[in-house]
Amino acid sequence: MRQAGPHRILRWMFVLLLIPVLLASVRARPASAAELDSDFNDPRRCAACHTEIFSQWDGSMHALAVTDNVFRKFYEMVVEEAGPPAVEFCMKCHTPVGVARKELPPVTGEKIDNVAIKGVFCDFCHTVTPTGIGNAAFDTGHSTTKKGPFENAVSPAHATSTDNVYRTSEFCGMCHSVTHPISGRPIERTYQEWKESPYNTGDPATSTQCQDCHMRQTSDNPATGDTVRKENPGKAALTGPDRPHIWTHYFVGGSALYQDAPNGDRRKAMAMARLRHAARLEINVEDVPSYQDRFGSFRVRVTNVGAGHKLPTGLSEVREMWLDVTVRDAKGKVLLRSGAIGENGGIDPTAAIFKTYLGIGRTNVKLSCCFFAIGERNKILSVETMTRDRRILPKGYDEEKYAFEVPKGAAFPIKIDAKLNYRSMSQDFANIFYPDGSFKVPVIRMEEATAQICPGGSCDDGSLRVPPKKKASGARRR
């Protein structure tokens, strides 16, 4: 028997070494078009090529649109009071594929399959046909062609098509504008707030679109109107070309309520970074107290420097953004406090709270979905009027005036501390769904400012500690 020569042995060794590589390449091969296009695809199939984009989306508020615990509890309460019409009204934006497939009702969602339960996912967004603005203005229909913003996208797994709507706020406006279907009252107006803001110049080429903030953010780039919104170079797919900017898919807003979500800590940190680059505080002293005239006053100005919509936005009757202000003398004695959180989680009623305030209607308005007030017995009530809208316009401001007395024996300088806080919902609202108090809504510090007041405006070291008054600029919302 002839022995194999050294060259033949080397060839066989090369083949044996190559087999694992070939097997790995087969496993990593993108799914075929036939596999992808049978129906709406699970996002994990998209992850075979769009790995980084999938990891950003997974655990986002879009991915949790159906399964988020707070949303589920709220949705079921709304349906219990409003009846079956609320199911499709709510769920067409929260599980558009589930509604299109008629997997709802029942309200509890046990008929929603493993794909539709993923909420707002890849194959919905990249095949949807927008038909207008608000109340789920779109047609849901599966397509073998996947649409997106790039002109030269080529995929080995599916056909592609370019659609510039993906670069515009109108795409987001399909769902982020909600009107009560019976009373006609606005429920959510995030798109309209942007449309009427300075960020919308009327020219798509010069306007700052929703995507320019919410799809540019990364862990080290808050991407608000108060920061540089940097490009995010990279690949949209493993097999795709390098591009100067890839739209991120974290979809971060102001919510830090990522309960057990993938990368929840990172998403919470990104939400906090966005909020901390949304507003600016200024303290403007008006009346300087002295040893003779012991009354002082000042204004705290909150300016919306970073959001292309009002602060706060969305279901703004639930949101709470408020001023927490403390005035102390040099010995630490509190002379004024407004905006503290009590033991039950409620905010001091003297606080300046920026939100919408609703009036409870007396007529029998059905389907009070999402337009509610917390009343006796913690029921969702029909609301027909917005009694006050104290939110801050994009690039606008609001002010709150404070007055205090310096008692005898108090020591100068007087120190003013002002903090702007935010939480996605009131603790009272959370307690409706978690009556045992187990769910604590996180409070996020958005901004803070300090000032010192000395008799005559000048402190012992000769420095002026009272900020100078500034002329009003920008739009004011009271």
pLDDT at 37: 55
Average pLDDT over residues 91-111: 93
Query: Residue 456, exposed/middle/buried by CB under 10 A (0-12, 13-18, 19+)?
Result: exposed
Please, which pLDDT band fits residue 30 given cuts at 50, 70 and 90? Answer: very low
The whole-angstrom distance between residue 135's C-alpha and the CA centroid of its chain comes to 19
**Percent over 70 (pLDDT), the chain:** 81
Nearest Cα to 368, choosing from 384, 389, 353? Answer: 384
Where are the strands (E) in 111-172, listed by range?
129-130, 138-139, 145-148, 159-162
Asked if 360 and 375 count as a contact pair (C-beta separation under 8 A), the reply is: yes
CATH class for the region spanning 278-457: mainly beta
Alpha carbon distances (Å) from 462 to 327, 341, 454, 466: 22, 37, 10, 12
461: pLDDT strictly greater than 90: no
Per-residue pLDDT reduced to its tens digit, 212-223: 999 999 999 999
The whole-angstrom distance between residue 187's C-alpha and the CA centroid of its chain comes to 16
CA–CA dist 453, 296 (Å, integer)? 9
Structure tokens at 306: 């970073």
pTM: 0.86
470: pLDDT strictly greater than 60: no
Asked if 181 and 86 count as a contact pair (C-beta separation under 8 A), the reply is: no
Q: DSSP assignment of 53-102, as one string?
A: HHHHHTTSTTTTTTT-HHHHHHHHHHHHHH-THHHHHHHHHHSHHHHHTT
Per-residue pLDDT reduced to its tens digit, 384-420: 667 789 999 999 999 999 999 999 989 999 999 999 9
Average pLDDT over residues 436-447: 94
The sign of the dihedral angle between the CA atoms of 166, 170, 172, 174 is: negative
Mean pLDDT of the chain: 85
The domain limits of the chain are 40-63+120-254, 278-457
